[in-house]
Amino acid sequence: MSVAPSPKPRRGEGREALLRAVLRAVAKYGFAGLTYRAVAAEAGVTHGLVSYHFGSLDAMISEALVLAADEAIRDSRVTVSSGELSAFAERVSTLVSEHPDAQSYQFELTFEARRRPELASQVRALYENYYSVTERSLVELGIERDQALTRLVFAALDGLVLQQLIFGDARATDASIERLHELLATLATSPGS
């Protein structure tokens, strides 16, 4: 039994559709199986089109990482501007449920960077961006700047994403986020927390 490739992207959706195909290909085959042909099969296009759009596998890997990370920050609600603690990271479980390939991709890339040191700077930049977003949100919530706390909070979120990918238990993720909110409330100094 063969699996049909995804439908061809509509006009104007090409690049993002190809990047999503990269995420799916890595989720299925890992980085060892990431080729223009694998991405083309996922996207339902020719491998020449994939090569044309990105020029190199490294460029394709980088652009897919940007898509996955931007989506994670936006859709998890790690960024808080309202000052409401209950809003912080409130959609982490939904993000993992709706975009498991994008979340898996980031972990896969992290492990791939251990084998391919040329990817380490991208992974480091990814985590630095997550730390920065987390720190800004914690400050917005009235929690004093603290690099160790920022890393701890992000490590908790990162671990919850990984656990949900493995076990598929969104309710456990939500319960853990609620508990994290309770712990952070003890550190908040602003009246809205």
- Assess if residue 23 is contained within a domain: yes
Q: How wide is the angle at C-alpha 154 spanned by C-alphas 140 and 60, nearest 5°?
A: 110
Whether residue 80 sits in one domain with residue 64: yes
- Assess if residue 192 is contained within a domain: no
Q: How confident is the model at residue 14 (pLDDT cuts 50, 70, 90)?
A: confident
Whether residue 98 sits in one domain with residue 172: yes
In this predicted model, what pLDDT tens digit does every residue of 56-77 receive, in sequence order? Answer: 999 999 999 999 988 888 888 8
The predicted pLDDT at position 192 comes to 47
Q: Which is more confidently placed, 146 or 73?
A: 146
14-35 mean pLDDT: 93
Q: Is the pLDDT of residue 137 over 90?
A: yes
- Assess if residue 143 is contained within a domain: yes
- Assess if residue 6 is contained within a domain: yes
- Assess if residue 71 is contained within a domain: yes
The domain tally of the chain equals 2
Residue 25: which domain range? 1-55
- Assess if residue 79 is contained within a domain: yes
Which residue bears the tokens 């994939």?
Answer: 50
Reading the block at residue 16, the tokens are 């993002």
Whether residue 61 sits in one domain with residue 1: no
Whether residue 177 sits in one domain with residue 102: yes
Whether residue 68 sits in one domain with residue 39: no
Label each residue of 80-107 as H, E or C. Answer: CCCCCHHHCCCCHHHHHHHCHHHHHHHH
Whether residue 127 sits in one domain with residue 85: yes
pTM score of the predicted model: 0.84
